[in-house]
Amino acid sequence: MPANLPPEAKHKWAEVSATKNPKEKLRLLKEFMSLVPKHKGTEKLCSQAKKKMAALRREIEEKKSKKAGRGGPKFFIEKEGAAQVAIIGLTNAGKSSLIAATTNAKVEVSASPYFTREPVPGMFDHEDIQFQIVEAPALMEGSADGKAWGLQTLALARNADGLILMVSLSQDPVRQLSLILNEMEKARIFVSKPKARVEVERNLWVLA
Ligand SMILES: Nc1nc2c(ncn2[C@@H]2O[C@H](COP(=O)(O)OP(=O)(O)OP(=O)(O)O)[C@@H](O)[C@H]2O)c(=O)[nH]1
Ligand SMILES: [Mg+2]
């Protein structure tokens, strides 16, 4: 550091050096820069300080994006038991009620729409076989186009070994089922077997 800096700048530099927190360090460095007189003798110092500020900004951004990645819902549920069965349906179909009644899952039943926002797994015993039942967050019109958590829910359905398509009988079940099937088909998840057509052609070669 050049010896001819004003005392306030020297004092601020001491504060910068003593600070570890990147945000705080960046703020102090900005203050330091405003106290440094700009001339030939301080050119090198200013350029070093600017580089340090850019590195601190990068560090702060990286920390932010790592935090954002950690905070999102966890959509991948590791398979357990004999098979993973996903409950797929619109909101308020009773998905949480079903998983709460049949498994050990700790799940909240609520009349608030779109209450379950990440998959909830639970184990269902049938004789000596255990099935993993997973409540998937609700499908809606536009799920296959990426609306809300639609693509993640559809990926969960695709990865499951079995599906329970659940509709509420109190609100137009036929419309609900066709909406579910439509979103699934758009995501290329088909629940009926494609009609296979097999043609057998026999060629007889007679060698004379
Ligand atoms: N009448 C009646 N109400 C039910 C039944 N099952 C669930 N409910 C009610 O319907 C509402 C929604 O139930 P949930 O089980 O939370 O529905 P969900 O499908 O998990 O809803 P989301 O998490 O929003 O997708 C709650 O108020 C339940 O009490 C049922 O069999 N009959
Ligand atoms: Mg629910």
- Residues 6+ positions from 190 with CB-CB distance below 8 Å: 184
Ligand 1 binding pocket includes 75 (Cβ within 6 Å): no
Q: How many CA atoms lie within 13 A of 9 on its CB side?
A: 16
User: What's the 165 CA to ligand 1 centre distance in angstroms?
Assistant: 14
> From the first residue on, what is the mean pLDDT of each consecutive set of 10 residues in the chain (208 residues)?
82 92 93 92 90 92 73 82 97 98 95 96 94 98 95 96 97 96 96 81 73
Prediction pTM value: 0.67
Give 124-159 pLDDT, tens digit per residue: 999 999 999 999 999 999 999 999 999 999 999 999
